[in-house]
């Protein structure tokens, strides 16, 4: 139990599908993140939300659309993805302002795009 | 942007041997965080280093931050099979919200 829960854990989708990844944190944190982890690449920051406001969009293609309805929930909506988007998508949270900035990661959603 | 280089990319050791991974940058690092990711798992925070020359220990793990704050290292003494995984360093770049991760060092341990 990490305190950050991601669903689904595995997802296979075609390039024309629309799907969503969900993340929920039970730690009372104010900041939430989406990271992409591909083989042989560093963890790539995609989006940051602080107090439900998007503070970072790291030049992510518009086929990835984040949503943060409150400080505990974060979604990543997926639409017309490409095979190169196949990766492990990690959600993380942190306390926000102050603190060490330590990230608490969820177990990830393994996405395969056919 | 800030780049954090980690070496080696892979390290295979016999159980009981020591292991070190290095994190380097051409520019001054703000704060260094270290994470461990077990195979099939997710990154887990180990420690944060803030001060120049700082050294912190966690049992068999020793973390160092260089005097010029341009490098950091993680040293494991007498590795065990439970140490298997990928070790990442990350620089905060002065922000609590934008960690830049190295590519990681994959450690495998032969029992």
B40-50 pLDDT per residue, tens: 999 999 999 99
pLDDT value for B62: 98
If pLDDT is split at 50, 70 and 90, which confidence band does A3 have?
very high
- Measured CA to CA, the distance from residue B37 to residue B79 in angstroms comes to 16
**Phi and psi for A60 in degrees, rounded to 5?**
-85, 135
A113 in contact with B at a CB cutoff of 8 Å? no
* Region of residue A14 (phi > 0: left; psi between -120 and 50: alpha; otherwise: beta): beta
Tell me which chain B residues have a C-beta less than 8 angstroms from the C-beta of A103.
33, 35, 43, 45, 99
Q: Determine which of A1-10, A94-103, B50-59, B94-103 has the lowest per-residue pLDDT on average.
A: A94-103
Of B44, B48, B100, the CB nearest to A100: B48
- Measured CA to CA, the distance from residue A81 to residue A13 in angstroms comes to 9
Tell me which chain B residues have a C-beta less than 8 angstroms from the C-beta of A42.
4, 88, 100-104
* Region of residue A91 (phi > 0: left; psi between -120 and 50: alpha; otherwise: beta): beta
Q: Determine which of A22-31, A102-111, B94-103 has the lowest per-residue pLDDT on average.
A: B94-103
B103 in contact with A at a CB cutoff of 8 Å? yes
User: Which residue in B has a C-alpha nearest to residue A107's C-alpha?
Assistant: B42
CA distance A83 to chain B (A): 21
Whether B1 shows a pLDDT value over 90: the answer reads: no
Distance of CA B81 to the CA centre of its chain: 18
* A34 contact partners, CB below 8 Å, separation of at least 6: A23, A45, A46, A47, A64, A66, A74, A76, A89, A90, A91
Tell the residue number behind the tokens 């390039």, with chain if given. Answer: A15
> In the predicted model, what is the mean pLDDT of residues B54-67?
98
Across the interface, whether the CB atoms of A43 and B88 are under 8 A apart is answered yes
Whether A99 shows a pLDDT value over 80: the answer reads: no
Across the interface, whether the CB atoms of A31 and B102 are under 8 A apart is answered no
HSE on the CB side for A110, CA within 13 Å?
Answer: 7
Q: How far is CA B32 from CA A49, A63, A87, A94, B86, in A?
A: 22, 32, 25, 16, 16
Instruction: Name the average pLDDT for chain A.
Output: 91
Please give the DSSP secondary-structure letter assigned to residue B92.
-
Asked if residues B92 and B77 have their Cβ atoms less than 8 Å apart, the reply is no
CA distance A20 to chain B (A): 20
Tell me which chain B residues have a C-beta less than 8 angstroms from the C-beta of A108.
42
- Measured CA to CA, the distance from residue B63 to residue B48 in angstroms comes to 9
User: Which residue in B has a C-alpha nearest to residue A58's C-alpha?
Assistant: B98
Q: Report the candidate in A77, A99, A89 with the shortest Cα–Cα distance to residue A33.
A: A89
């Amino acid at each position: 139990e990490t305190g950050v829960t991601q669903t689904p854990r595995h997802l296979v989708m075609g390039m024309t599908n629309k799907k969503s990844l969900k993340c929920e944190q039970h730690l009372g944190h104010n900041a939430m993140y989406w990271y992409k982890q591909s083989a042989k690449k560093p963890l790539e920051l995609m989006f940051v939300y602080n107090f439900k406001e998007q503070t970072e969009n790291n030049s992510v293609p518009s086929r990835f659309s984040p949503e943060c309805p409150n400080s505990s929930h974060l979604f990543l909506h997926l639409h017309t993805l490409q095979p190169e988007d196949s990766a492990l998508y990690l959600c993380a949270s942190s306390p926000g302002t102050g603190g060490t900035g330590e990230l608490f990661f969820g177990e990830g959603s393994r996405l395969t795009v056919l | 942007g800030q780049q954090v280089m980690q070496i080696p990319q892979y390290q295979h050791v016999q159980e009981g041997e020591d292991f070190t991974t290095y994190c380097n940058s051409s520019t001054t690092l703000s704060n260094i965080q270290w994470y461990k990711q077990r195979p099939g798992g997710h990154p887990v925070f180990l420690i944060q280093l803030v001060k120049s020359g700082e050294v912190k220990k966690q049992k068999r793990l020793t973390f160092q931050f260089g005097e010029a704050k341009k490098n950091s290292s993680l040293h494991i003494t007498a590795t065990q099979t439970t140490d298997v995984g990928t070790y990442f360093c990350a620089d905060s770049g002065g922000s609590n919200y934008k960690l830049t991760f190295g590519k990681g060092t994959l450690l495998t341990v032969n029992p």
